[in-house]
A = this chain, B = another copy of it.
Amino acid sequence: MNHLLDDGPKDCCGVFGVYGHPEAARLTYYGLYALQHRGQESAGIVVSDGHSLKDKRAMGLVPDIFAENDFKRLTGHISCGHVRYSTTGSSLLANAQPFIINYAGHSLCLGHNGNLTNAFELRQRLEREGSIFQTTMDSEIVMHLLARNIHLGFEEGLIAALGELKGAYSFLFMTEDTLVAARDPFGFRPLCIGRLEDAYVVASETCALDLIDARFLRQVEPGEVIFIDKKGLRSVKPFRRERHAHCIFEFIYFARPDSNIFGQNVYMVRKRQGAQLAKEYPDIPADFVMPFPDSGNYAALGYARAAGLPFEMGMIRNHYVGRTFIQPSQDMRDFGVRVKLNPVRELIQGKRVVIVEDSVIRGTTTMARVKNIRQAGASQVHMLVSCPPHRFPCHYGIDFSTKGELIACHHSVAEIKAMLGLDSLHYLSIEGLLNSTKTSRDGFCLACFDGNYPVPIAEGTGKFCLER
């Protein structure tokens, strides 16, 4: 949730849609604003008044893209919004979603959170048959599959198209008069439905419902396709039932702590991760506990409480850190880290400090921060990580899709401890992590920890496989 502050993993996307509200586009703006942590590269809103689609999409953050004037133009009662951090497809405006096509007199738009694992072979087949692709996004493939099946009618054609897909998807489709939410049979990514007065709202996380004061109705279920139009809401479950494979990293890092996903509150799960750490590592000798704010805050609170240690906020954030910051031209020691978080020397000097961190992906930022804590005079620095070591890439939509990026893929815990300059380093166990979620191993995708991929991975499924 802390993307401006570190170089950790980035999620791919968030979606938000409305059916049946006169200010659909404006509500979507707020919804995307609340989901901004799920994608900061580009954003877009498409709106329909029942007859035609209007859109605005651009690179950048939601509040930088949209201005009051846009909403004078984006009139309509159905809308589909998207925030994106590229997973498949490079960083181009053309790849900004929602993606719109005009097809035989009709318009269709699509927002996608997730990653298809058979994108490459599907696209090859379609191009052989004469389809021309506009983007490098795997999402576009769905549109072409639908165009080739449209003779079945929109609903049947869409289900036929979805039936050819493999991998992770939480989709939001919109035509001139219908909003469709669809989630893959494994349920990798979250997706929920809410109500605001007579309108339906679909969102990646519940924090987006909260912001517009919508009421949480239920999750879109894995394998469910929901059509919403003037006749109301219609649910279809046309696919083979699969075991659930919710992304556990949503709990550890991605989702906002005030969201409920996969049936639980994220803040509470994180505090339990911290408490679980205290159970697994009860005897760390320390004067106080502190997080690297804000993503580590909640596990740190849980740990400090359970371990009976004081909790401090010893790193002060610069509230104005943004993405356009000018880098120093000459060598300034650990500048990139210090500009975001400055340690409070008076607090740290001479003290034994426990850092609780949510995850260590590449390790470079963590290394610099630990060094900073040491320079502020800490006598000992211990680190507890509220998840197991990341040893395997993700192919379902998270931005660490090659092994090369993962420090734990190439190094033992002892080596990492030494590289990060720590006095001790401990990771939460897989069992401990599952305990904190109160769910069985079968409900989650743990592939990034154990390499056990719920959907098989084809060769050549890397991030750039659709680009030349």
Residues on A lying within 8 angstroms of B by beta carbon are: 1-5, 23, 26, 29-30, 33-34, 36-37, 40, 52, 61-64, 66-68, 71, 101-105, 124, 127-134, 136, 143-144, 147-148, 150, 207, 210-213, 256-258, 260, 265, 267-268, 294, 297-298, 301, 305, 310-313, 316-322, 324-326, 328-330, 332-333, 335, 338-339, 342-347, 468
In the complex formed, the residue of B with least CB distance to A268 is: B346
Closest to A135 in B: B102
CB distance from A257 to the nearest CB of B (A): 5
State in angstroms the CA–CA spacing of A258 and B52 once bound together.
Answer: 46
Verify B36–A1 contact, CB threshold 8 A.
no
User: Cβ of A101: which chain B residues have Cβ within 8 Å of it?
Assistant: 132, 134
List residues of chain B with CB within 8 A of the CB of A104. Answer: 124, 127-128
Apart from A64-B322, A102-B468, A130-B144, what are 11 other A-B pairs with CB-CB below 8 Å?
A29-B326, A34-B318, A101-B132, A102-B133, A131-B132, A134-B134, A207-B316, A211-B342, A256-B316, A265-B346, A294-B317
**In the assembled complex, which residues on chain B have CB atoms less than 8 Å from the CB atom of A127?**
103-104
| A316 with B258, Cβ < 8 A, contacts A310-B305, A339-B33, A342-B211 known | yes
Set B130, B212, B260: member contacting A332, Cβ < 8 A: B212
A346 in contact with B267 (CB, 8 Å): yes
How long is the Cα–Cα vector from A5 to B66 in the complex, in angstroms? Answer: 20
Q: How far is the CB of A136 from chain B (nearest CB, A)?
A: 8
* Chain B residue, CB-CB nearest to A347: B267
- On whether A344 and B257 interact (CB within 8 A), knowing A317-B294, A326-B66, the answer reads yes
Known: A52-B468, A313-B301, A330-B23. A33 touches B320 (CB 8 A): yes
One complex includes copies of this chain to the number of 4
A130 partner residues in chain B, CB cutoff 8 A: 129-131, 144, 147-148, 150
Q: Which of A3, A132, A213, A468 has the most CB atoms of chain B within a 10 A radius of its CB? A: A132
Contacts of A124 in B (CB 8 A): 104
Shortest CB distance A312–B (Å): 7
A36 in contact with B132 given A30-B328, A325-B63, A330-B23 (CB within 8 Å): no
Partner among B5, B268, B333 whose Cβ is within 8 Å of the Cβ of A347: B268
Contact B317 A312 (CB under 8 A): no
For the complex, give the distance between the alpha carbons of A256 and B320 in Å.
Answer: 13
Contact of A258 among B40, B134, B342 (CB under 8 A): B342
Residues of B within 8 Å of A144, CB to CB, are: 130, 132
- Asked whether, in the complex, the Cβ of A298 is within 8 Å of the Cβ of B313, the reply is yes
Minimal Cβ-Cβ distance residue in B for A144: B132
Nearest residue (CB) in B for A21 is B330
Closest 8 pairs between A and B when the two form their complex, measured CB to CB: A265-B346, A104-B127, A258-B316, A130-B148, A36-B320, A258-B342, A267-B344, A130-B147
Q: What separation, in Å, do the CA atoms of A138 and B378 have in the docked complex?
A: 46
A40 closest partner in B (C-beta) = B320
Asked whether B320 lies within 8 Å of A63 as measured between CB atoms, the reply is yes
B207:A265 contact, CB within 8 angstroms? no
Are B103 and A30 touching (Cβ within 8 A)?
Answer: no
Q: In angstroms, how far is the closest chain B Cβ from the Cβ of A396? A: 25
Which chain B residues border A257 with CB–CB below 8 Å?
316, 344
- What is the distance, in angstroms, from A146's C-beta to the closest C-beta of chain B? 9
Question: Which residue of the partner chain B has the closest CB to A26?
Answer: B329
Instruction: Identify A316's interface contact among B64, B267, B321, B342, CB under 8 A.
Output: B267
User: Which residue from B68, B71, B213, B339 sits with its C-beta under 8 Å from A211?
Assistant: B339
With A132-B132, A468-B52 given, is the CB distance from A344 to B265 under 8 Å?
yes
What separation, in Å, do the CA atoms of A35 and B144 have in the docked complex?
A: 38
Q: In the complex, are the beta carbons of A62 and B329 less than 8 A apart?
A: no
Q: Which residues of chain B come closer than 8 Å to A30, judged between CB atoms? A: 328, 335, 339
Contact of A313 among B4, B131, B213, B297 (CB under 8 A): B297
Task: Give the most central of A64, A143, A313: most B CB within 10 Å.
Answer: A313
Q: Using Cβ atoms and an 8 Å threshold, which residues of chain B touch A317?
A: 294
Q: Is the CB of A132 within 8 A of B105?
A: no
Say whether A301 contacts B312, CB under 8 Å.
yes
